[in-house]
Structure 1
Amino acid sequence: MRSSELAAIAGVSVRALRHYHQLGILPEPPRSANGYRDYNVHHLVRLLRIVRLAGLGFPLHKLPELLDRPDDDPVSQLDQLDAELAARIDRLTAQRALVARLKQERAAPDLPPEFAPYAALFAAGGLPPRFARLDREQLILLAHLVGDEHLPFIARLYGRLAEPGLLAAATEAAARFAELDDDSGDETLREVADDLISVCASVAEESTGAENPVDLGDAAALLADHSDELLNVAQKRVLALVESRLRTA
């Protein structure tokens, strides 16, 4: 029988047959004189066994030992499979809980869930799309660079910004920062820097006395490189001023 016939009888696609050949779990018969591969009933039986085992949940890379050693202890094999399926169910259950949390917070799925409730608040604050994108991408980058150990600490700082008493000030400062351009004078730049420093000072209270402070190290340079591509000259001047004054303080 041809590959299309074999696949149809077994209820799989011809592409699946080729995949099984590549993995070495289904022998590939030689081509006949007319150039087609001629499969026999033995290929069909092995293919049906593959379909059955894969349907139960056995990984394809483990099928050779099951197919070629059918007399091994089946209970042991099934116990191992059951444990793997239980672990998979636990992972899927955790993923579903995370999806439900993101849906409830109306958060983008690419954001770390720790930031979900706060990012939605800032997005609703009316930031220009370019700066909403900057905020979102910086969060994604920062969360990855600080790692799981420091992520809760960073999330607390970000959550401090989202508190009602500070959110309005932070949003207003961000909006004024977003409006800066080449025509912005030195006085305006200083005023915006003052606003940002005031916000940063409020957030800094959360980090005072932290037992495990975050050392950004190389991460700071990567974050700066990222923002550098999205900011104009005036905005970069303000950030340099803020950084200098905070360092001095």
Structure 2
Amino acid sequence: MRIAELAELAGVTVRTIRYYHQVGALPEPPRRSNGYRDYNADHLVTLLRIAQLTGSGLSLAHAGALAAESSGSSDEVLDEIDRALETRIAALTEQRTRLAQARAGGHLGLSRVAAALSFSASDLPVAVLFAHLYRDQPTVEAFADALLEPESRAALASIQRRFEAVDETTPDGELEGLAAEMRSIVSELGGGALAAELPPLAPERSQLLLALAERELNDRQKEFLRRRL
């Protein structure tokens, strides 16, 4: 039979069958002298089994492999499906947990670390990049937890508001006081060890972060930031 007939009998599209061929899930049949593929009932059965297996939770790769096997007990197939479903359930449970955390923390679309570093919309680009650059550091999640503690967050939000008010009229003494307060708050996070455990970034990454942070700053704010990075 031709591919269009096979597709109609199986209840799928021709494009689906071609895709299954492309990824190796469905073996290609021999071709006739005119170049057309020549399908038979075995191909139809294999295609129907693939549909059943993928519908039961197997990946297309696994479904294609199992559908092509002439041996293998139904228990083995069911065990394979059960393992695949278990993996999918675990992944979905993890996604729901992340969604619940995002909803509770008001940071949908952000990692927990990025959310902890964000106090306003203008902070988001820097927070997202910082979280990405430190994603492999084992202490960064604990650092985020410390930042999200109400007392720390209130103190840092106050610092943020004062920094946003800095302009060319801000005296040096006020800036030094602001810097000292920032160091004090950060040094006390998580009992004083967390910030120190985050290693410094490579110079090119620090510059990337600094360039992003400076986009919305005035000259006085930039000067303050550069002295402390």
Per the TM superposition, whether the score is higher than 0.5 is yes
Unaligned runs of 5+ in 1: 124-128, 244-249
Task: Using the TM superposition, give the Cα deviation of residue 17 of structure 1 relative to its aligned residue in structure 2, in angstroms.
Answer: 0.8
SS at the partner of 1:94?
A: helix
Task: Using the TM superposition, give the Cα deviation of residue 21 of structure 1 relative to its aligned residue in structure 2, in angstroms.
Answer: 0.8
Normalising by structure 2, what TM-score?
0.78
Structure 1 match to 2:132: 141
Q: Distance in 2 between matches of 1:107 and 1:133?
A: 10
Q: Distance in 2 between matches of 1:175 and 1:22?
A: 56
- Over 3 Å counting, the alpha-carbon distance change for 1:227 and 1:160 in structure 2 is farther
Cα deviations by residue, 1:133-154 (Å, 9 ceiling, x for unpaired): 34432442244142xx212331
From 152, 156, 159, give the equivalent of 2:141: 152
Structure 2 residue 224 is the aligned partner of structure 1 residue 238: yes
Structure 2 match to 1:228: 211
Q: Distance in 1 between matches of 2:152 and 2:195?
A: 23
Q: Distance in 2 between matches of 1:159 and 1:58?
A: 40
Structure 2 residue 174 is the aligned partner of structure 1 residue 191: yes
Structure 2 match to 1:93: 93
Given that 1:161 and 1:203 are in contact with CA atoms closer than 8 Å, whether structure 2 keeps it comes out as no
Aligned amino acid, residue 166 of structure 1 = A
Q: Distance in 2 between matches of 1:174 and 1:211?
A: 23
- Over 3 Å counting, the alpha-carbon distance change for 1:219 and 1:81 in structure 2 is farther
SS at the partner of 2:108?
A: coil
Task: Using the TM superposition, give the Cα deviation of residue 238 of structure 1 relative to its aligned residue in structure 2, in angstroms.
Answer: 1.1
Give matches, 1:59-138, under 5 Å.
59-63=59-63, 65-109=65-109, 111-113=110-112, 116=115, 118=116, 122-123=119-120, 129=121, 131-138=122-129
- Over 3 Å counting, the alpha-carbon distance change for 1:209 and 1:191 in structure 2 is closer
Task: Using the TM superposition, give the Cα deviation of residue 52 of structure 1 relative to its aligned residue in structure 2, in angstroms.
Answer: 1.5
Structure 2 match to 1:41: 41
Aligned amino acid, residue 100 of structure 2 = A
Q: How many residues align?
A: 226
Q: Percent same amino acid among aligned pairs?
A: 30
Structure 2 residue 158 is the aligned partner of structure 1 residue 169: yes
Given that 1:29 and 1:37 are in contact with CA atoms closer than 8 Å, whether structure 2 keeps it comes out as yes
Unaligned runs of 5+ in 2: none
From 176, 189, 197, give the equivalent of 1:206: 189
SS at the partner of 2:135?
A: helix
Task: Using the TM superposition, give the Cα deviation of residue 38 of structure 1 relative to its aligned residue in structure 2, in angstroms.
Answer: 3.6
- Over 3 Å counting, the alpha-carbon distance change for 1:208 and 1:89 in structure 2 is closer
Given that 1:21 and 1:28 are in contact with CA atoms closer than 8 Å, whether structure 2 keeps it comes out as yes
Aligned amino acid, residue 239 of structure 1 = L
Pairwise CA RMSD: 3.2
- Over 3 Å counting, the alpha-carbon distance change for 1:198 and 1:220 in structure 2 is farther
Q: Distance in 2 between matches of 1:136 and 1:162?
A: 20
Q: Distance in 2 between matches of 1:24 and 1:216?
A: 46
SS at the partner of 2:188?
A: helix
Indicate the larger mover: 191-200 or 4-13: 191-200
Cα deviations by residue, 1:54-84 (Å, 9 ceiling, x for unpaired): 2222223234542343332321332233133
Task: Using the TM superposition, give the Cα deviation of residue 241 of structure 1 relative to its aligned residue in structure 2, in angstroms.
Answer: 2.7
- Over 3 Å counting, the alpha-carbon distance change for 1:12 and 1:94 in structure 2 is same
Aligned amino acid, residue 15 of structure 2 = R
Q: Distance in 2 between matches of 1:106 and 1:212?
A: 24
Q: Distance in 2 between matches of 1:155 and 1:198?
A: 19
Aligned amino acid, residue 132 of structure 1 = D
